């Protein structure tokens, strides 16, 4: 598969081809961490969106910011969400038709972990196939792990509202199969799946 096709699958426009592919690592643009909708306005407008524009991909800049708000590292060297006892033990994966990627917030990149298309294990609802971005949240299967995931996906909701994106958090997935396919151990488990994309007009 050529570079253009890989970029298209990951939701990158032709203007984003300056981004570097290095083996199995996809480097992302620096997220823009200022501006946007006032917080109270975003909270007031926040909603779940399940209808996506299949003709409009998510560019790399927007993808970088989606991932950063969920599990990035801010300018103070802290995660963008709180974790109990500073455990920082959540993981954020992105699913694509050509493989699964792990987000590395410290290095602001995606690291490919396999060549599997795991999206079918999440698509119990028809709209899922229309979404260009698929986030998969992994954590210890306990109350704190689930709290961390909740903080992360709420950040994505608020960013999506500010940016004009549609998003919805989902539990109707085959979490057991996804956990097995990712080879998770030590009590880690797939907790939730979140779709993101530009809304259908």
CB contact at 8 A, 57 and 15: no
Range of the domain at 105: 3-197
Encode burial over 44-79: b for 16+ CB neighbours within 10 A, e otherwise.
Answer: eeeeebbebeeeebbbbbbbbbbbbbbbbbeeeeeb
For residues 33 and 35, give the distance between their C-alpha atoms in angstroms, rounded to a whole number: 7
pTM, 2 dp: 0.88
Q: Who's near 25: CB < 8 A, 6+ residues apart? A: 109, 110, 111, 112
Interval 36-58 mean pLDDT: 97
50 pLDDT more than 90? yes
What pLDDT does residue 201 have?
A: 83
- Exposed/middle/buried for 186, CB within 10 Å: 0-12, 13-18, 19+? exposed
Q: Provide the percentage of residues in the chain whose pLDDT is more than 90.
A: 84
Average pLDDT, the chain: 89
Q: Give me the sign of the Cα torsion angle 3, 7, 13, 18.
A: negative
Least confident of 25-34, 43-52, 81-90, 191-200: 81-90
- Higher-pLDDT residue of 22, 165: 165
Banded pLDDT at 154 (limits 50, 70, 90)? very high
Query: Domain holding 129: CATH number?
Result: 3.40.109.10
* Residue pLDDT, tens place only, 74-122: 999 999 999 998 989 999 999 999 999 999 999 999 999 999 999 999 9
Least confident of 3-17, 22-36, 92-106, 127-141: 3-17
Count of structural domains within the chain: 1
Least confident of 20-29, 74-83, 149-158: 20-29
Structure tokens at 146: 């689930």
138 pLDDT more than 50? yes
Banded pLDDT at 200 (limits 50, 70, 90)? very high
What pLDDT does residue 23 have?
A: 53
């Amino acid at each position: 598969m050529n570079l253009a096709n890989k970029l298209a699958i990951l939701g990158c426009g032709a203007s984003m081809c300056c981004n570097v592919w290095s083996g199995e690592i996809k480097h992302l643009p620096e997220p823009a961490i200022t501006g946007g909708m006032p917080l109270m306005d975003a909270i007031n407008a926040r909603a779940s969106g399940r209808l996506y524009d299949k003709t409009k991909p998510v560019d790399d800049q927007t993808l970088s910011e989606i991932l950063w708000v969920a599990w990035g590292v801010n300018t103070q060297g802290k995660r963008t969400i709180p974790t109990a006892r500073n455990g920082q033990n959540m993981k954020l994966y992105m699913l694509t038709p050509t493989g699964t990627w792990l987000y590395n917030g410290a290095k602001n990149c995606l690291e490919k972990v396999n060549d599997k298309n795991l999206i079918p294990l999440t698509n119990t609802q028809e709209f899922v196939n229309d979404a260009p971005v698929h986030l998969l949240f992994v954590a210890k299967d306990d109350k704190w792990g689930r709290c961390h995931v909740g903080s992360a996906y709420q950040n994505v909701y608020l960013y999506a509202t500010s940016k004009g994106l549609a998003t919805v958090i989902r539990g109707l997935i085959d979490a057991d199969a996804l956990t097995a396919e990712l080879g998770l151990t030590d009590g880690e488990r797939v907790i939730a799946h979140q779709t993101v994309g530009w809304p259908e007009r």
